[in-house]
Amino acid sequence: MSSLTAFVIGAGTNVGMHVAAAFKAKGYRVALASRNPDVDALKKEGYFPVALDVQNIGSVQGAFAAVNKELGPPSVVVFNVASVEPPPASDDPLSLGVKGLAKHVDMSLAMFAAAQEAVTGFRAAANKGAKCTFIATGNPLPWAVPPLPLMVATVGLNIQKTIEWRILDICTAAYAKEKFRFYFATLVAEDGGILDPLSDFFTSGPQHAQVYLDLITREEQADWDYRFTLDAKQVKK
């Protein structure tokens, strides 16, 4: 296990850092990507820090090149990126504007680019026999119907996560023959809907870490659209 590499894109203090710590404890060499990483602090903690701007596809590709060179191609990639930018008018989703929406779509494109780079690495000799896995931190918006004010406020995030959701559905089927696993992993309420209160998400790093560690160590692909609760139990669709 010590020879395997995990790459966590989006190294926030909640999900990203908890997931990274769980992977490192399991024996993975872990690379952490964020826009402005604290290089010295992360190195002291045993991580390989990488600067990455999700608005720039070249930055995504460059980050993978750096990880491949320093640690080897990752067998596990986590894309933990999201942004909420409410439209200026709270009752007008189109007031977000094309540029505002484009920022969210760019994040989806960054995930697409990350998946491309991940699959290239999965096929490398270093990952022969590894349980190659790509996980995106999900959100219920692709299938849930929130109250109208929340629906409008999260229109950009909704579009971003819906694009990612569809990409990972397709990838799961397309790469099954190579035994590459893909997941859109979403924390949900007990009934499978949106968390209430939403603030519970911001302390859910440990649960995400537990679930992601389970997914990357499974022998077979689980449900690609993987939904789980605050007690880390799967919710079947």
3-state DSSP of the chain: CCCCEEEEECCCCCHHHHHHHHHHHHCCEEEEEECCCCHHHHHHCCCEEEECCCCCHHHHHHHHHHHHHHCCCCCEEEECCCCCCCCCCCCCHHHHHHHHHHHHHHHHHHHHHHHHHHHHHHCCHHHCCCCCEEEEECCCCCCCCCCHHHHHHCHHHHHHHHHHHHHHHHHHHHCHHHCCEEEEEEECCCCCCCCCCHHHHHHCHHHHHHHHHHHHHCCCCCCCEEEECCCCCECCC
pLDDT of residue 3: 76
Tell me what the pLDDT averaged over the chain comes to.
Answer: 96
Q: Contact at 8 Å (CB) between 215 and 185?
A: yes
Among all chains, which residue has been given the structure tokens 């939904």? 227
Q: What is the pLDDT of residues 107-163, one digit of tens each?
A: 999 999 999 999 999 999 999 999 999 999 999 999 999 999 999 999 999 999 999
pLDDT value of position 237 = 79
Ranges of residues in the chain with a pLDDT under 70 are: 1-2
How high is the pLDDT of residue 103?
A: 95
pLDDT of residue 151: 96
Domains observed in the chain: 5-228 (3.40.50.720)
Q: What is the pLDDT of residue 1?
A: 46
